[in-house]
Amino acid sequence: MRKHELYTDYQDYFEYFGNTEIERIRKQGEKTIRHDWIIFDSVDEAMEFSMISAVSS
């Protein structure tokens, strides 16, 4: 599942592949300025975060 959030200075992209990690990529224009992983203790926690983030966008 992919998610995209737009801010004035940068854009956050979240990608969830069905495991305990969510990838976050922060871009400013076409340039990637930050790339990291959000790690959860369980798949359920990661899925819940993914669903909450998708609803809030």
Which pLDDT does position 52 carry in this prediction?
Answer: 74
| C-alpha 45 chain-centroid distance | 14
Residue ranges in the chain modelled with pLDDT below 70: 1-7, 53-57
Among candidates 15, 19, 6, 57, which has minimal Cα distance to 36?
15
d(CA 44, CA 10): 29
pLDDT at site 26: 92
Per the listing, tokens 């998610």 go with 3
Q: What is the pLDDT of residue 12?
A: 87
Report pLDDT for 50.
84
Q: How far apart are CA 9 and CA 36, in angstroms?
A: 18
